[in-house]
């Protein structure tokens, strides 16, 4: 078994991105499955090019994508990705799409195929604040989730895939009134999500 886990590079003026910082700290193996870690660029164009190639190269059984959702207080497991790019700020390449489809003539949306409710239940049982989210937004995180699910569906692949948003870590909110979560708790949450996704 093999799990592809991704986090994003920093964006929006931040010096770090807790999603990648947590993914980096994951063990090389979880429940006997090899963990393949990859940092994604905050770029609409590059994510659409890189993720399908990465999935084809790694041939994962599970794909767990993670990203920062500054302002959210919980680990949020995303239910759905929608076929639109609509950015309130430029990506790291200076691109700011408005009401553009991620892929032309593709489905309006895809539901996550990881067990979202079971993951949230397991996280709460481990005293980690968690909830299901019904919107991954319309920025690069949603584009990554949609791209992965579209590629898997279009090519008849067996991999389960989904997206998890994580809060800021404490060092990011020293001067702003926003909720945060320790990096260790975020790392543990991703590990639990992987374990639940590896189950039948």
**According to DSSP H, which parts of 18-168 are helical?**
18-24, 44-58, 116-125, 140-154
Q: What is the pLDDT of residue 54?
A: 98
CATH number 3.40.630.20 is the correct assignment for the domain at 2-198: yes
DSSP SS3 for 5: strand
Give the tens place of pLDDT for each residue, 117-148.
999 999 999 999 999 999 999 999 999 999 99
Q: Which of 21, 78, 191, 196 is an active site residue?
A: 78
**CA gap 11, 72 in Å, rounded:** 16
Q: What is the pLDDT of residue 173?
A: 95
**Residue 78 a catalytic site member:** yes
Mean pLDDT of 179-188: 98
Q: What is the pLDDT of residue 200?
A: 77
Question: CA-based Rg of the chain, rounded to a whole angstrom?
Answer: 15
Q: Which of 141, 150, 151, 196 is an active site residue?
A: 141
Q: What is the pLDDT of residue 187?
A: 98
Q: Which of 150, 151, 165, 191 is an active site residue?
A: 165
**Residue 151 a catalytic site member:** no
Q: What is the pTM (predicted TM-score) of this model?
A: 0.96
**Residue 9 a catalytic site member:** no
Instruction: Decide if pLDDT at 2 tops 90.
Output: yes
Mean pLDDT of 37-65: 98
DSSP SS3 for 48: helix
Give the tens place of pLDDT for each residue, 61-112.
999 999 999 999 999 999 999 999 999 999 999 999 999 999 999 999 999 9
Closest CA to 69 of 158, 147, 129: 129
* 41 DSSP 8-state letter: P
Give residues with Cβ within 8 angstroms of 92, minimum separation 6.
Answer: 9, 11, 41, 42, 43
**CA gap 62, 19 in Å, rounded:** 17
**CA gap 47, 200 in Å, rounded:** 29
């Amino acid at each position: 078994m093999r799990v592809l886990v991704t986090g994003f590079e920093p964006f929006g003026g931040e010096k770090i991105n807790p999603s990648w910082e947590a993914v980096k700290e994951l063990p090389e193996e979880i429940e006997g499955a090899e963990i393949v870690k990859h940092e994604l660029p905050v770029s609409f164009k590059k994510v659409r090019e890189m993720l399908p190639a990465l999935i084809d190269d790694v041939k994962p059984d599970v794909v767990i994508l993670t990203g920062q959702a500054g302002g959210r207080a919980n680990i949020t497991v995303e239910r759905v990705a929608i076929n639109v790019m609509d950015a309130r700020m430029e990506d790291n390449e200076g691109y700011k799409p408005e009401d553009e489809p991620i892929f032309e003539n593709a489905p309006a949306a895809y539901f996550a195929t990881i067990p979202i409710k079971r993951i949230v239940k397991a996280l709460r049982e481990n005293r980690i604040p968690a909830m299901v989210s019904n919107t991954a937004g319309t920025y690069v995180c949603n584009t990554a989730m949609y791209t992965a699910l579209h590629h898997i569906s279009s090519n008849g692949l067996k991999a389960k895939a989904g997206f998890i948003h994580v809060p800021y870590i404490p060092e990011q909110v020293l001067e702003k009134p926003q909720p945060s979560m320790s990096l260790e708790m975020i790392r543990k949450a991703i590990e639990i999500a992987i374990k639940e996704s590896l189950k039948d």
